[in-house]
Amino acid sequence: MEIKWKIGDELKGNVPPGPLDQKWNKYKDKQKLVAPNNKRNVEIIVIGTGLAGGGAAAALGELGYIVKCFTFHDSPRRAHSIAAQGGINAAKNYQNDGDTIYRLFYDTIKGGDYRSRESNVHRLAEASVDIIDHCVATGVPFARDYGGLLENRSFGGVQVKRTFYARGQTGQQLLLATYQSLNRQIAKGTVTMYNRHEMVDLVKIDGEARGVIVRNLLTGKLERYGAHAVVLATGGYGNLYYLSTNAMNSNASAAWKAVKRGAYMANPCYVQIHPTCIPESGEYQSKLTLMSESLRNDGRVWVPWKEDDVQAIRNKSKQPKDIPEDRRDYFLERMYPAFGNLVPRDVAARAIKKVCDEGRGVNATGRAVFLDFEDAIMRYGKSEAHQQGLSNPDKSTIRSLGEKIVEAKYGNLFEMYEKITGVDPYHTPMMIYPAVHYTMGGLWVDYNVQTNIPGLFAIGECNFSDHGANRLGASALMQGLADGFFVIPYTITNYLADKIKVPKADINHPAFEEAEKSTRERFEKLLSIQGNQSIESLHRKLGKIMWNLAGISRTAENLSKAVEEIRALRKEFWEDVYVPGSMDEYNPELEKANRVADFLELGELLATDAFHRNESCGGHYREEFKTEEGEPLRMDDEFAYIAAWEWPNTNEEPILHKEDLNFEVVKPTTRSYK
């Protein structure tokens, strides 16, 4: 089937002039302000309470705006940011290993395979420094060394140690600090919090975002809220693939409703597949669990060289430790000697898929490789024995000393692995396989993190802005906090400065009427179909299409097949879905149905974007575009642009708006980790 699209107007990123490292400071020098007495009359809606939304609501409340904040969770503390494990980057250079703001900026641009906007990334690197100070001041118990100073670890794709962490629960600690700052504002009355309230439509008046339609999930009632500006901080769309490391309720509907109201979706095909997740165990599988990238600091990835060893492991006649060193292929170390096991995620994921496609996968399904800690345990054990002054310690003493060190570093991850698989990773190497994890694509925003709809802002994972075609580890938390606490308070103020005379939005305006009515009709339609397929089963089908045809590696042929199959499935959904219950009650199945219906459109757009991008870059790997060694081949002459898609609500083809990427400071080169 032929995939078609139209070309629309070009977009401008509204990047301020001046040298890259001065843009943000100059912006702040010149931006418009809102006086404190006027802030008290200006209303802002924030959707989401993750690092981005929670941070924005707290910071905007501190400034004195009237903030209304919404989440579908029962408490702001449950936002999906809570699940981040590994850490957060910042260019503090506390390790004296040569880190600078420029280097963090450069690594992020390179890691993103030269597909992000320089100015945004530089601002992010600048903010990273303030983030750590702010987090420590608000009580984040980061890991510390014996001298009481902050500890760092390293993450994939970089050669310095700049990642701050709180055990394996960094996201939890950052989110709790954010939640606490938010609660302080709730107590002060600057922020009104609406839990278990889901945004189901965006309301525009005279072309500007002026409010939202929200469903009170407990009563099922539709409610209207108005404001001078709306901020979406609603996370990523990884659950489009059904199985992902995202929380069960993460979804793309808030962003997609904005798209249906005219916002552009940028680079939806840039999806991050994380190399180290616990492999699937059966059809009933509801989600996949990440094993943090930090494990690749110490774990070595391997599969056997020989077919008979592979078979012996699969049928359990041999244990991994029975395979001698020379019959093991530490393939990341072999293929990428400079970065070894710490190559970026997209590179590692493809390499893992490759050895499994060669038939060397080590579990029953053939879709797993080993992540082995034996060397690290022995290395740490020896060093610890030396420090303790033990002479000639035996192997088991060394081993148990080493296990303790590994436990201190990764204890909770090892525990989680054992809980899920029933296997003790201190003694048997972990089995891991790639899974969908993060979405670099998202709502298109300019330098102000404003979408193409005036007054509609998008921050955190739900925008597209900072990670190009691939995100480096520990950079999403950084972006969430930067956008929420340190960027939007300035840029939204610049926008609102012109709105202080504008009266509060009238929720009886016809635009609110229309939005509420169309939402109600959609829910009624979903409930009236009364077909034979559960929402879960349809979602699972969609996930299979996406994973098989638009996953780790893609071809034009498969992508057009994907579009065809998604359309057919969408039709099936609207004819045969079964949604139990009614609208005016707590009805989680209805919530899911609404979200899956949106995924069924976003999936088509993702495949279209992937089809149109005739190159390989970052997480987007097209088999037709590779070097002789099989490495991804970028086509800078043709594709050095951001693809922002307009989705017409009729059956016409989507419209592609391009924003050219201008590299003023960094010269795009072939990303090499060899």
Partner 1 sequence: MKLTLKIWRQNGANDKGHFKSYDVVANEEMSFLEMLDVLNEELINRKEEPVVFDHDCREGICGACSMVINGKPHGPLRKTTTCQLHMRHFKDGDTIHVEPYRAKAFPVIKDLMVDRTAFDRVIQTGGYISVNTGGAQDANNIPIAQSIAEKSMDAAACIGCGACVAACPNGAAMLFVSAKLNHLNLLPQGEVEKLERTHKMIDRMEKEGFGACSNIGACEVECPKDIQLINIARMNRWYFSSAFAGDQ
Contact positions toward ligand FAD, by CB under 6 A?
Answer: 47-53, 70-73, 79-81, 83-88, 170-171, 198-199, 233-235, 245-246, 250, 253-254, 290, 437-438, 460-462, 474-477, 480
**Closest approach of ligand FAD to the CB of residue 67, in Å:** 14
For residues 255 and 486, what is the distance between their CA atoms, to the nearest angstrom?
A: 22
The CB-of-171 to partner 1 minimum distance in angstroms stands at 8
CA distances to 588, 605, 626 from 337, in Å: 49, 37, 20
C-alpha–C-alpha distance, residues 170 and 271, integer Å: 23
To which residue do tokens 């090892």 refer?
A: 414
Out of 11, 135, 303, 563, point to the residue binding partner 1 (CB under 8 A): 135
The Cα–Cα gap between 572 and 196 comes to 30
Return the number of the residue (49 or 558) whose C-beta is nearest ligand FAD: 49
Number of residues that bind partner 1 (CB under 8 A): 77
Does 192 participate in binding partner 1 (rule CB under 8 A)? no
Tokens of 284: 């009933």
What three-state secondary structure class fits 459? coil
With respect to partner 1, which residue has the nearer C-beta, 181 or 253?
181
Residue 146 or 395: the one with the smaller Cβ distance to partner 1 is 146
Residue 253 touches which member of partner 1, ligand FAD, none, C-beta under 5-8 Å by kind: ligand FAD
The amino acid at residue 318 is K
The count of residues in the chain is: 674
Q: Which amino acid is at 522?
A: R
Closest CB to partner 1 among residues 284, 391: 284
CB atoms within 10 A of CB 418: 15
In 282-410, DSSP assigns E strands to 300-304, 328-329, 369-372
Burial-class residue 441 by CB neighbours within 10 Å (0-12, 13-18, 19+): buried
As a whole number of angstroms, the distance between CA 395 and CA 370 comes to: 23
Q: Which of 1, 248, 338, 364 binds partner 1 (CB under 8 A)?
A: 248
At its nearest, how many Å lie between partner 1 and the CB of residue 263? Answer: 26
Closest approach of Cβ 517 to ligand FAD, in Å? 19
What mask of x and - would describe binding to partner 1 in positions 464 to 503, judged by CB under 8 A? ---------------------xx--x--------------
Which of ligand FAD, partner 1, none has residue 170 at its interface (CB below 5 to 8 Å by kind)? ligand FAD
Rule CB under 8 A: which of 363-422 touch partner 1? 416, 419-420, 422
Cβ proximity of 95 and 189 under 8 Å: no
C-beta of residue 328 within 8 angstroms of C-beta of residue 355: no
Question: Dihedral sign, CA of 477, 198, 42, 65?
Answer: negative
569-588 binders of partner 1 (CB under 8 A): 578, 580-581, 586, 588
Residue 486 Cβ vs partner 1, minimum distance, rounded to whole Å? 7
- Neighbouring residues of 509: CB distance < 8 A, sequence distance ≥ 6: 203, 205, 210
567 counts as catalytic: no
What SS3 state is found at 556? helix
Choice between 86 and 619, CB closer to ligand FAD: 86
Residue 147 binds partner 1 (CB under 8 A): yes
Q: How far is the CB of 626 from partner 1 (least distance, A)?
A: 35
Question: Where does this chain touch partner 1 (CB under 8 A) — which range of 246-254, 322-330, 432-440, 450-458?
Answer: 246-254
| 102 touches partner 1 by CB under 8 A | no
Q: Which is nearer to partner 1, 112 or 238 (CB)?
A: 238
**Shortest Å distance, C-beta 303 to partner 1:** 23
Look at residue 186 and give the partner it binds from partner 1, ligand FAD, none, a contact being a CB closer than 5 to 8 Å depending on partner kind: partner 1
Closer to partner 1 by Cβ: residue 136 or 205:
136
Q: Which of 158, 174, 186, 313 binds partner 1 (CB under 8 A)?
A: 186
Stretch in the footprint of partner 1 (CB under 8 A) among 120-128, 129-137, 437-445, 665-673? 129-137
Q: Which of 23, 39, 68, 77 binds partner 1 (CB under 8 A)?
A: 77
Q: Does 31 bind partner 1 (CB under 8 A)?
A: no
For the record, the structure tokens of 553 come out as: 């590696």
45: phi then psi, degrees, rounded to nearest 5: -100, 130
Q: Where does this chain touch partner 1 (CB under 8 A) — which range of 23-31, 58-66, 114-122, 228-236? A: 58-66
Cβ-based neighbours of 528, under 8 Å, separated by 6 or more: none
| Cβ contacts of 148 within 8 Å, gap of 6 or more | none
List the beta bridge partners of residue 274: 435
* Interface region with partner 1, contact rule CB under 8 A, candidates 136-144, 315-323, 564-572, 665-673: 136-144
Distance CA 491, CA 448 (A): 5
- The DSSP line for 171-240 is HHHHHHHHHHHHHHHHHHTSEEEETTEEEEEEEEETTEEEEEEEEETTT--EEEEE-SEEEE-----GGG
Most distant pair of Cα atoms in the chain: their distance = 83
CB–CB of 48/460 below 8 Å?
yes
Residue located via tokens 């709306």? 230
C-alpha to C-alpha distance for 225 and 214, rounded to whole angstroms: 8
Question: What is the smallest separation between the CB atom of 446 and ligand FAD, expressed in angstroms?
Answer: 18
Q: How far is the CB of 434 from ligand FAD (least distance, A)?
A: 13
Of 136, 312, 507, 556, the residue at the interface with partner 1 (CB under 8 A) is 136
C-alpha to C-alpha distance for 572 and 426, rounded to whole angstroms? 47
Q: Is 652 in the site for partner 1 (CB under 8 A)?
A: no
285 binds, options ligand FAD, partner 1, none, Cβ within 5 to 8 A by partner type: partner 1
Say which entry of ligand FAD, partner 1, none residue 242 contacts (CB below 5 to 8 A, set by partner kind): none
**In terms of Cα–Cα distance, which of 227, 292, 344, 355 is closest to 214?**
227
Q: What are phi and psi of 658, to 5 degrees?
A: -105, 140
User: Among residues 18 and 139, whose Cβ is nearest to partner 1?
Assistant: 139
Nearer CB in complex with ligand FAD: 233/610: 233
> Which residues sit opposite 302 in a β-bridge?
370
Comparing CB distances to partner 1, the nearer of 104 and 644 is 104
**Residue 653: CB atoms within 10 Å:** 13
Q: Residue 52 binds which one of partner 1, ligand FAD, none, with CB within 5 to 8 A depending on kind?
A: ligand FAD
Binding status of residue 274 toward partner 1 by CB under 8 A: no
- Selection from ligand FAD, partner 1, none that 235 binds (CB < 5 to 8 A by kind) is ligand FAD
Out of partner 1, ligand FAD, none, what residue 199 binds, judged by CB under 5 to 8 A for its kind, is ligand FAD
Residue 28 token pair: 């702040």
By the rule CB under 8 A, 167 interacts with partner 1: yes
Residues in region 288-327 near partner 1 by CB under 8 A: 289-290
Annotated catalytic residue within 162, 345, 360, 595: 345
Question: Which residues are annotated as catalytic?
Answer: 345
